[in-house]
Amino acid sequence: MHGFYVELRTPEGGFLPGVGGEDDGLKGGLNGIDNGRLHFTGVRVPRTNLLNRYGDVAPNGDYSSPIASPGRRFFTMLGTLVQGRVSLDGAAVAASKLALTAAITYSTQRRQFNASSDLSEEVLMDYQRHQRRLLPRLAATYAASFAHEELLEKLDGVFSGSHDTDEDRQDLETLAAAYKPLSTWLALDTLQECREATGGAGFLAENRFTSLRADLDVYATFEGDNNVLLQLVAKRLLGDYAKEFKDMDFGVLARYAATQAGRTLHRSGLRRVAQTVADSGSEKKSAIALRDEHTQHELLSDRVSSMVAELAGELRGAKSMSKEKAAALFNEHQNDLIEAARAHAELLQWEAFTRGLKDLKDPGTRQVMTWVRDLFGLCLIEKNLAWYLMNGRLSTQRARTLNAYINRLLAKIRPHSLDLVEAFGYGPEHIRAAIATGAEQERQDEAAAYARRMRASGTSVIDEKTLLARQAEIRKPGTASGRKSA
Ligand SMILES: Cc1cc2nc3c(=O)[nH]c(=O)nc-3n(C[C@H](O)[C@H](O)[C@H](O)COP(=O)(O)OP(=O)(O)OC[C@H]3O[C@@H](n4cnc5c(N)ncnc54)[C@H](O)[C@@H]3O)c2cc1C
């Protein structure tokens, strides 16, 4: 596979001879990018138009390449395309940050319903449900952001040549294939939730949730469909597993995984868990254990390594089977494979977040960010609670404490939610959403000032329910007000 340069159009914009093409027409989003099909009939490309870093054609027609192995050459060429996936990962993280900045800013200003006072309504962000909808997504966005920073460093290492071994390239490919699905799915989910969390205002085009969502939609598909990419990650995990344990019997390994004995699968970041998370008896202690960084790591990494070990055991006979039977066996486990890859990618994000915490110097910032990391980790465990319970990794007692502990974390993070989105560093010129400009705060202040003036003047409207209650009180025989009115 080789890239080459070819002229397509005349200066007037028409196609050159032998070149043809059709436009794809209106798409579901991202219409700022022109997509279509090209075809070439008898178009001659000069050999000097070959993008010849990895392969060249001499004037006499001889082909040469600095990469001897055709297989490696193919993957090196493919590898140059990884920049697209890395960029998509970054763009998706940025979209989640923008959406959360707009939605959380609005939610700290918008008031709706009197829950605790007759005089002022509650700020949306103070509702627990609202916190549940926005803060776990904020935590996941931070995790994806830390992971993306590390991905950029890996990309820089490979493309600057400072860390450019075959293994570095393969790691970069696998990491990009793992992170891009997670961050693009997260962005779509976050944009939708932020749209709903800002109510009817969120549906207005001027607030950009709907147009960003439409533009981001295809991110789950292009530069590699998300499910197909995760399958690539799963194959790499299985390959690493097979290399790591090449002299051991897969059946034994599967039993190892089931009994939680084990060791480290270092290259893919896989970890085995050596100990069962023991229960202490008290619910409080159970919750404290879940808060512990090592416990979270053990639970997340144990799930990945157990899933991979189990799959390796199930697929161990595939190599000696006919192509048809091997494909059928693989297909029987395809969903579990992709789930294992997803769990692996989530673990890598959690690890990147945890490494990021170590660089935070300010103790207050580190504390808040540790809560955010805990929220990310515990929400992952909560999402897969069925697996932890079915596989005996968490007791029902500990599992029961999870929901309450997550709620407590939400309440702790809530006062910092605005700081957490402001820390993304976006200004109004980036967010470009009318609801995040402070207009809602102005509207609320104006309404509150008006209500205060009305109350002070004695002309404020009396609530119908209050009026009816007063009238009922007056009509009641035997009551003080009833006697007075009589
Ligand atoms: C707007 C846009 C711009 C693009 N730009 C470019 C570009 O610049 N250059 C370029 O080369 N390409 C480009 N593409 C193509 C893009 O990379 C492909 O659309 C993408 O890789 C998915 O391939 P597909 O459309 O053939 O989907 P399919 O492969 O047909 O997939 C359809 C569905 O089937 C599932 N599926 C497929 N195979 C399997 C499997 N083995 N197991 C389980 N499920 C499977 C997928 O998960 C997906 O949900 C672009 C696409 C779009 C929409």
DSSP states of 224-266 as a string? S-HHHHHHHHHHHHHHHHHHHTTTS-HHHHHHHHHTT----BT
Give this prediction's pTM.
0.89
pLDDT at residue 290 in the model? 84
* Mutation choice for ligand 1 from 80, 216, 222, CB with most ligand atoms inside 8 A: 222
The domain at 248-424 falls in which architecture? Up-down Bundle (1.20)
Interval 70-120: pLDDT, tens: 988 888 888 888 999 999 999 999 999 999 999 999 999 999 988 787 778
Check residue 458 and give its pLDDT: 86
Distance from residue 354's CA to the centre of ligand 1 (Å): 33
pLDDT for residue 129: 98
Of 401, 366, 363, the C-alpha closest to 382 is: 401
CA of 164 to the centre of ligand 1 (A): 29
pLDDT score at 247: 61
For the cut 90, the answer to whether the pLDDT of residue 409 exceeds it is yes
Backbone phi and psi for residue 322, each to the nearest 5 degrees, phi listed first? -70, 160
Residue nearest to atom 20 of ligand 1 (CA): 222
Residue whose entry in the numeric block shows the structure tokens 């000097």: 48
More confident position, 449 or 118: 449
Which helix (H) or strand (E) segment is 40 a member of?
strand 36-40
pLDDT at 281: 52
* DSSP category for residue 110: -
Cα of 344 to ligand 1 centre, how many Å?
Answer: 23
Q: What is the mean pLDDT of residues 180-204?
A: 98
Proportion of the chain above pLDDT 90, given as a percent: 74
Q: What rounded mean pLDDT belongs to the chain?
A: 89
The pLDDT value given to residue 258: 47
Please identify which of the residues 121, 149, 167, 223 carries the catalytic annotation. Answer: 223
Would you state the pLDDT for residue 469? Answer: 87
Element (H, E) at 438: none
pLDDT value for 266: 33
1-57: what fold? Butyryl-CoA Dehydrogenase, subunit A; domain 2 (2.40.110)
pLDDT value of residue 410:
98
- The 8-class DSSP code of residue 61 comes to S
For the segment 311-329, the average pLDDT, to the nearest whole number, is: 92
H or E segment and range at residue 124: none
pLDDT of residue 251: 53
Average pLDDT, stretch 292-317? 94
State residue 262's pLDDT score. Answer: 36
421: its two tokens: 């989105």
Identify the band that residue 198 occupies on the pLDDT scale cut at 50, 70 and 90.
very high
In this model, does residue 276 exceed pLDDT 80?
Answer: no
pLDDT at site 261: 35
**Tens-place pLDDT, residues 122-174:** 999 999 999 999 999 999 999 999 999 999 999 999 999 999 888 898 899 99
CATH node for 81-224: 1.20.140.10
Average pLDDT (392-419) is: 94
Domain boundaries, the chain: 1-57, 81-224, 248-424
d(CA 207, CA 432): 7
User: Which of 13-22, 110-119, 197-206 has the weakest average pLDDT?
Assistant: 110-119
Q: Above pLDDT 70, what percent of the chain?
A: 90
Pocket test for ligand 1, best of 23, 37, 228 (most atoms within 8 A of CB): 228
Using CA atoms, how far apart are residues 272 and 298, in angstroms rounded to an integer?
8
Give the number of the atom of ligand 1 that is nearest the alpha carbon of residue 224.
21
Would you state the pLDDT for residue 267?
36
In this prediction, residue 222 carries a pLDDT of 96
User: Which residues does a 6 A CB cutoff place in the pocket of ligand 1?
Assistant: 27, 30, 35, 218, 221-225, 227-228
* pLDDT at 256 exceeding the cut of 60: no
In the chain, the amino acid numbered 161 is G
Fold agreement between 81-224 and 248-424: yes
Q: Is the pLDDT of residue 252 over 60?
A: no
Distance from C-alpha of 89 to C-alpha of 284, rounded to nearest angstrom: 39
Q: Is 223 a catalytic residue?
A: yes
